[in-house]
Amino acid sequence: MRYAHEVGKVRAAEAALMARLPEGALMQRAAAGLAAVCAGLLPSVYGARVVLLAGGGDNGGDALYAGARLAGRGARVVAVQAGSKLHEGGLAALRAAGGRLLNASAAAVGDEIAGADLIIDGLTGIGGTGGLREPHATLARLASEATGTVVACDVPSGVDAGSGRVEGAAVRADVTVTFGTYKPGLLIDPGAARAGVVELVDIGLGGDLPDPDVVAARPVDVEPPEPGAESDKYRRGVAGIVAGGDAFTGAAVLSVGGAVHGGAGMVRFASVAHPVELVRQRWPEAVATVIDPGADRPLEGVGRVQAWVVGPGLGTGEAAERLLAEVLGSELPALVDADGLTVLARRRDLLRRAAPTVLTPHAGELSRLTGAARDEIEARRLEHVRRAAAELSATVLLKGSTTLIAEEDRPVRVNPTGTPRLATAGTGDVLSGLIGALLAGGMAALDAAAAGAYLHGLAARLASDPAGDGESPISAFDVITALPAAFRAIA
């Protein structure tokens, strides 16, 4: 896992460590790590043109000390002073190594940045909030437009380290060298998109850091249930799917496909006649049952299941409400998606249950569930997914450019495999079926949702670029087809 900590916890850990170290030792550790990464990005340090964008804070000091190390190895280093002051020790070290200083207002600044082989962004630090002011905003723009490699110290300037928010101008880095621990804003869009490749430098914070606030999985962390020698279809898990209707049949076919290719031992599908007919044609391995949504207990004859998926294409009328109530009235894990979330927004009382519940909204659906404005949710995704998990007493998977999965009092999971190619109709239905299969296989709700999101994103990437030579458009069915390859990729 990649572990990320909020700014206040990082500051406290740094203070505890600095109290045990000689003055300036922590900054020297950070600068040494930064200089080492930068040196590795250059074909040759000797003769390379390096520009430092230096603010008055500690990140400016890190950049200056790193620049001094590069200058000592023969690089031509120019520091651009963005504010009224600079870190005195860092500036002295740079000058002693032969580096030069320019004020941000100097006429040569634009040409220096444009001609640099490498640009180090030390304009602001992890405490920076809100949009960049001048001259920082202009320097960030010039760096982002330059052809040289851009390396950010700790977090790209203009990116909120705690949330990933970007308000106005921000540096777009090729590489971000972060110190001690990841910051949430490096893992969550739009900040993640500005960070480029993130390199973590160990500066010794380990023992002083508390539990993480946000975590992002690596392939080895995704552990879907594996069949053993004694497995049968029931031990592997039976996923029950209640989806589709006469108006929306595709959601039924896609959600069942996600479960079939998601490792379920058996999939039981329940709906009205037409979706059942289509599912039987496309997925003959699924056990499909025609139900009467108007009956008192329409799911009673479906058979044994170990987890439910309810909602995709279901409609939002009384029949859908009756089906949702029956599913959530059970003692089985359940996932609610799509139309089921719309019904749930008016029947939040159905969430009063002891069994695990996974909700998979996009921002608009979460807005209906919680009453928060959609724009506000989009702007503060991390804050709102945490709040929703606590308020709704559920595992909440908030879809988006960065999918976030939250449970109350647990670190928020960030899915690193998302791709814009998933922004096409039906992919959410596939995700619902996939997570339902993992729930039926015995995974805990948070783990199933996080693993499902990871595999779903990975399948989309594999489907859109199977040969590794460039992405192409995909459909939801392409994601289903690529799921086995996604499972193999993490094995």
Q: Is residue 164 part of an annotated ligand binding site?
A: no
457 is in an annotated binding site: no
Flag whether 401 is marked binding. yes
127 is in an annotated binding site: yes
Nearest residue to 207 (alpha-carbon basis) of 2, 14, 411: 14
Does 55 appear as a known binding residue?
no
Residue 189, marked binder:
no
58 is in an annotated binding site: yes
HEC string for the chain: CEEECCHHHHHHHHHHHHCCCCCCHHHHHHHHHHHHHHHHHCCCCCCCEEEEEECCCHHHHHHHHHHHHHHHCCCEEEEEECCCCCCHHHHHHHHHCCCEEEECCCCCHHHHHHCCCEEEEECCCCCCCCCCCCCHHHHHHHHHHCCCEEEEECCCCCECCCCCCECCCCCCCCEEEEECCECHHHCCCCHHHHHCEEEEECCCCHHHCCCCCEEECCHHHCCCCCCCCCCCHHHHCEEEEECCCCCCCHHHHHHHHHHHCCCCCEEEEEECHHHHHHHHHHCCCCEEEECCCCCCCCCCCCCCCCEEEECCCCCCCHHHHHHHHHHHCCCCCEEECCHHHHHHHHCHHHHCCCCCEEECCCHHHHHHHHCCCHHHHHHCHHHHHHHHHHHHCCEEEECCCCCEEECCCCCEEECCCCCHHHCCCCHHHHHHHHHHHHHHCCCCHHHHHHHHHHHHHHHHHHHHCCCCCCCCCCCHHHHHHHHHHHHHHHC
Q: Is 244 annotated as a binding residue?
A: no
399 is in an annotated binding site: yes
The answer to the question of whether 208 is labelled as a binding residue is no
What count of other Cβ atoms lies within 10 Å of the Cβ of residue 290? 14
The answer on whether 62 is annotated among ligand-binding residues is yes
Ligand-binding annotation for 121, yes or no, is yes
Q: Is 464 annotated among the ligand-binding residues? A: no
Rounded Cα distance, 80 and 102, in Å: 5
Question: Is 130 marked as binding a ligand?
Answer: yes
Task: For residue 131, say whether it is annotated as part of any ligand binding site.
Answer: yes
Q: Is 237 labelled a binding residue?
A: no
Q: Is 429 annotated as a binding residue?
A: yes
How far is the C-alpha of 85 from the C-alpha of 64, rounded, in Å? 13
Residues flagged as binding site for (6S)-NADPHX: 58-62, 125-131, 154, 251, 313, 362, 429
Annotated binding site: 58-62, 121, 125-131, 154, 157, 251, 313, 362, 399-403, 428-429
Binding site for AMP, residues? 399-403, 428
Q: Which residues are annotated as a binding site for K(+)?
A: 59, 121, 157
